[in-house]
Structure 1
């Protein structure tokens, strides 16, 4: 989850500029919350620049979906050396573009809930999608996905668009993994509870949810950690659903057109070190992808612990994504 809990996010270009003239530049397409001053980007790029004799430029696009779209549009003329912010819901589609290069690095340090041996994508964090609720607005939230779908229509939620947002796609996959072919009719029932569907996670979280527009929002099981550690409040909590929670693994990859592949691979290796991973828990508000010295803050012990991990193989997502999106669109317009 990129530091999805920063109070201010900019969708504009954000660059971390080195004060020293560097011999190489590394351009990374990412999302605004990773690049923001509250996110992990500034500290991570500073740490990497200290050892690489290079300058790291973070180009912040609106969302994970926009990263993929920009990569497709630019093709072999892309100015990106790396893309950081895709996930297990979008990575197979990115693979099929043919615009990414093998990373050729050792992944043995990874500690994920699923086995990982991919030749193109390097994970840097992971987490579970969950509905976060305002305990002051909603003292007793639905205890399951089924309870949410069958709740009175005056319970309003905020979700994200699965065409542009990785959490939005995550909910689509969550619904599909629980309900299978019945998912379209479940969407029809859920539709009347949806206050709005935002383009990105940050659009809904800060502008709407944090301003009390709805008592629940699609987010992450880790989101309350930021509020507890930084805002010093237990007001925002995640609901543990009986059916289980859908897993997201966030990844980075090397762009085939890059003229700095060796440097890009060094950054991918750096992602698996403590100097990168230690910034993940409270700046990206997710679980680190390794246990190399990335100790979790105490508030993480207060988070929900899903008993069932829901997950589709990325290839299965890619082969069904268009059909499942069309089913969702049809349900939303009935």
Structure 2
């Protein structure tokens, strides 16, 4: 993920009061202690975690629990670390496992079952299929899409690309940077978009064309966007980058009314992020309360401005400009979770053979 991107207190207190009575019955399995709530909660997450102190203080005020955030690289690295440490968990819970890696965490047995007490009706459309929904709760989503630096293209008097096919055209040679599919969940999402577009028989030929067109592959989003992208934080030389449909609003210059970049909505893969209780947690009830809190309005409303993602609660009003400059993809490419589970390792091996990464 990227690294830069209220319900009333009465409602929140009411939910937590209900939780105090009901949590033991709908909570975790095989956890260290399910009889009391600890005052400290350790949550493992990716490096893109960014939530306001005010929102986190609201949770502490309501519950008496202090949350300690433990970042563990990209979502893929986070998932791998949880699998490797499942017999001695590094935290009480996790936020940031996405739908490209979710089945690995579920199948490896690192999670305890839990569903939030109350959640918006729209959450169901983002849930994992089958029993996976019992282990991971959808919190937010984003569309991984190709982004272009419109200012750069205007200065060069070159029409920007609009489709995945365009990226392999000679006019855009040496202009695109993406994240590695083996090292970044953003990169893996882009790989899945190409698999959704070209199919299992055609995506490797497409990537060969990208490589021949001097595609640059970076380790993670931070390097691709902030360093190599011309509209990022550095002095990059690549005006095409794999990022998010929610990225453009954050390139609106001070005093201006529109962004200098745009997302190509015909190139996207929808990425959903989840939270869950880790099996063997020292504070499972505390993590259950935190999942309840993340599902409530105050946390959901804070997601766009803090983590550049869309809340799964569709009743939340998005920040000004998002409807215009950060619309979701109307028809993102889809790869069923079961297919990702069955083929992820093979696809990554094949991708590595094609790209040399």
Q: TM-score, normalised by structure 1?
A: 0.86
Q: Which runs of 4+ in 1 moved over 6 A?
A: none
Compared CA separation, residues 151 and 269, structure 1 to 2 (3 A): farther
Q: How does 1:248-327 map to 2 (within 5 A)?
A: 248-292=271-315, 294-303=316-325, 304-327=327-350
Equivalent residue pairs, number = 311
CA–CA distance in structure 1, aligned partners of residues 214 and 53 of structure 2: 35
Cα RMSD, aligned residues only: 2.3
Matched, 1:182 2:182: no
Q: How does 1:28-39 map to 2 (within 5 A)?
A: 28-34=43-49, 39=50
CA–CA distance in structure 2, aligned partners of residues 324 and 311 of structure 1: 15
Q: Greater Rg, structure 1 or structure 2?
A: 2
Compared CA separation, residues 44 and 3, structure 1 to 2 (3 A): farther
Matched, 1:216 2:236: no
Q: TM-score, normalised by structure 2?
A: 0.80
Compared CA separation, residues 162 and 267, structure 1 to 2 (3 A): same
Compared CA separation, residues 55 and 305, structure 1 to 2 (3 A): closer
Give how far 1:122 is off: 0.9
Q: Which structure 1 residue ranges, 5 or more long, are not aligned? A: 6-21
Compared CA separation, residues 3 and 283, structure 1 to 2 (3 A): farther
**CA-to-partner distance for each residue in 1:71-119, whole Å, 9 max, x for gaps?**
1222221131111111110000111111101113246415259352611
CA–CA distance in structure 2, aligned partners of residues 43 and 317 of structure 1: 37
Aligned to 1:247: 270
Q: Secondary structure at the match of 1:250?
A: strand
Compared CA separation, residues 229 and 30, structure 1 to 2 (3 A): farther
Question: Quick check: 1:2–1:31 contact (8 Å CA) kept in 2?
Answer: no
Q: Which structure 2 residue ranges, 5 or more long, are not aligned? A: 6-36
Q: Secondary structure at the match of 1:249?
A: strand
Matched, 1:81 2:126: no
Aligned to 2:111: 100
